[in-house]
Structure 1
Amino acid sequence: MNVDLSPILLDVTLRDGGYFNDHSWTTYEAESIVRAVGAAGIPYAEIGYLRGTHHPQRPTASCPPAYLDALATVTGRPDLAVMVRPGEVPVERLAELPDRGVAMVRVLVMGGSVEAAEPYVAAARAAGLDVAMNLTRVSERDPEGIAVAVKACANAGAQIIYLADSNGSLDPDSVSERVGAAVSASPVPVGFHAHDNLGLAFINATTALAAGATALDASIAGIGKGGGNLRLEVIVAHLIVRHGARLRLDPIAADRTTLATQLRMIADGGSKTVVTGLLDVNMDGTAHFSDMVAAEGLDATILALTGRGRPFAELTNDDRGGDE
């Protein structure tokens, strides 16, 4: 019997990729991406942030009702997921999501604040939704701290817990340590969200699987915040070839919806992204870093920051905890 033991994939093209086009995907573009992801056999597509204030011209920034309703009718679509940052949307709104085609809510755990996320987890569970909790910036947490946070998330009702390399600064050894600690502490599945600042998203993702993770995030062409995400087409091809996964590559390769955003990411990327990964910089704090680079250049900026004997993260990280 051919049993598919490959991990669960969740596509983050619309939500994370939205950082490179100001979340200005049209509903038509979102439908095309969701259709391609579904045809490839990916079980989940994360279609944006759920927020209380709607942005009609930027639907993935807030997931207004009309946008959700449109994606719910896409033929052959995967299950739809939305991301929630505690405090940005009334808890009561989660109750309407099943009727609008949403199957999963992913609740951000920012700065280790599991308590702030708990009402959203409870409301999502009460609505019959699948619930994930996403620990951000795990490069700034030691394995012991991650284990404590994972246990708290499981106790809060999470059905899957994702570790996010939000700063794109982890290497395989540090991924193995953190994911291993999470898996050992968690009674529920553990997932991994990679960023590619250092070109390590793929090897970090496969290392996470080897350490016991059973879910991965990825995006078409790797588009996403900072250095981008794990490339969906690469991990799909890997899982087909190495694990016999029942997935398809052609629908992703044939879809051209993301090309303009891919080009923008290429134009905006480069050496700065690599340096932010090496310095473990919170992506929400890169404006200060960019100002320093513009004034002094990369070499002088690196010397100034490392010469102070303090992580650059201390200069930029705020109390929100950042996103994935």
Structure 2
Amino acid sequence: MNAVPDDRPAFPGTPLLLDVTIRDGGYVNGHEWTVPQARSVVRTVAAAGVPFVEVGYLREAASGPLTPSARCEPDYLEALAAVAGATGLAVMVRPGEVSPRAVKGLADIGVRMVRVLAGRLGVDAAVPFVEAAAEEGLLPVVNLTHASTHSAARLAGAVARAARVGARIVYLADSNGSLYPHETAERVRAAVEAAADATVGFHPHDNLGLAFANTVAALGAGARAVDASIGGIGKGGGNLRLELIAAHLVRHAGADLRLDPLMDEQVTAPVRMKMILDAGAGAMMTGMLDVSLEQSRGFREQAAVRGYDALLRADAYPAPSLGGTAIG
């Protein structure tokens, strides 16, 4: 799979694939990947031929050896870039946690993409980071979170706005893992129509076991970029399995990807097991009821008192309101 060209993301035969094992999987292990573990993941993803690997959140420097993926300091990025080969590093930015000045110099230490979270479709807050990334020669990307809670028309408007301010890829994130394939296709189709020269991407979660089906629907509706993780590691019910979508793209889109490195990977095994043990019925229910990660504590408290059956019935759980900090 070729790297993204300089003029604009264009993937005539094969969608762009981005690995989110370290960043999104950090919600499972508290972002306590060690640098050797993160290097192993990056090495595996690079060996598989995946063009981009997202390695954490860009935040202010902090003391202590743990949670390097929660702040992406220069020495951490340099250590990962050393084993990334042709695979580009991506970092996630949440407006309000760091200044756009933090983007300066990232290209010199191996970063090629900056992804900016736009919670509540707040594209305006993402603009300074998009501009800073473009000035540094990085690929500026906007992630529109909680796509299940917004209509296709509202998402399309936000996509158009993100494209106008310079985002080269705009992702729709099914943050709550609540979308069904027909809903995914409707939202992606509207986004593609509004995107102008930008590429539309899709970030699935698997609370309902529909991450792969939703991704296939998104690709069919015109999405040209997809997020996935090794073993589906990620928050809530997990993400799309990288090995599954890679196999699909090899068979059905002629992708130049390799499965053996992904199938043989062992470093993430403990985190995969933790996700399975921790998620359980709660992840399925939060997906069914469109409950965000920010709301999950209140949901668990209600479930403990009232039981899942009561919450599943009509109007048993209040309609989600996106309070708190948006998470992709």
Q: Please, what TM-score do these two structures have when normalized by structure 2?
A: 0.93
Q: Give the one of 44, 49, 61 matched to 1:36.
A: 44
- Distance change >3 Å, CA 296–CA 46, structure 1 → 2: same
TM-superposed deviation, 1:4: 7.4
Aligned mates of 1:243, 1:107 — CA distance in 2: 28
2:157: which partner in 1?
Answer: 148
Residue 27, structure 1, aligned to residue 35, structure 2:
yes
1:323: which partner in 2?
Answer: 327
Match runs of 1:1-324 below 5 Å: 5-54=13-62, 56-74=65-83, 76=85, 78-187=87-196, 188-303=198-313, 306-308=314-316, 310-311=318-319, 313-314=320-321, 317-320=322-325, 322-324=326-328
Question: Quick check: 2:310–2:316 contact (8 Å CA) kept in 1?
Answer: no
Question: Quick check: 1:143–1:178 contact (8 Å CA) kept in 2?
Answer: yes
Aligned mates of 2:202, 2:247 — CA distance in 1: 18
Partner SS, residue 209 of structure 1? helix
TM-superposed deviation, 1:296: 2.6
Percent sequence identity over aligned pairs: 50
- Distance change >3 Å, CA 309–CA 227, structure 1 → 2: closer
Aligned mates of 1:75, 1:219 — CA distance in 2: 16
- Distance change >3 Å, CA 224–CA 107, structure 1 → 2: same
TM-superposed deviation, 1:289: 0.6
Aligned mates of 1:74, 1:114 — CA distance in 2: 33
| AA partner of residue 221 (structure 2) | A
Question: Quick check: 1:176–1:207 contact (8 Å CA) kept in 2?
Answer: yes
| AA partner of residue 301 (structure 1) | L
- Distance change >3 Å, CA 101–CA 253, structure 1 → 2: same
Partner SS, residue 31 of structure 1? helix
> Alignment length, in residue pairs?
316
Aligned mates of 2:317, 2:50 — CA distance in 1: 44
* Post-superposition CA distance 1:155-183 (Å, at most 9, x none): 11101100000010000110011000000
Aligned mates of 2:293, 2:324 — CA distance in 1: 13
TM-superposed deviation, 1:109: 0.6
Question: Quick check: 1:46–1:81 contact (8 Å CA) kept in 2?
Answer: yes
- Mark the runs of 5 or more structure 1 residues left unpaired by the alignment: none
Aligned mates of 1:265, 1:319 — CA distance in 2: 23
Moved more, 47-56 or 158-167: 47-56
Runs of 4+ in 1 over 6 A off after TM superposition: none
Partner SS, residue 47 of structure 1? strand
Partner SS, residue 48 of structure 1? strand
- Mark the runs of 5 or more structure 2 residues left unpaired by the alignment: 1-10
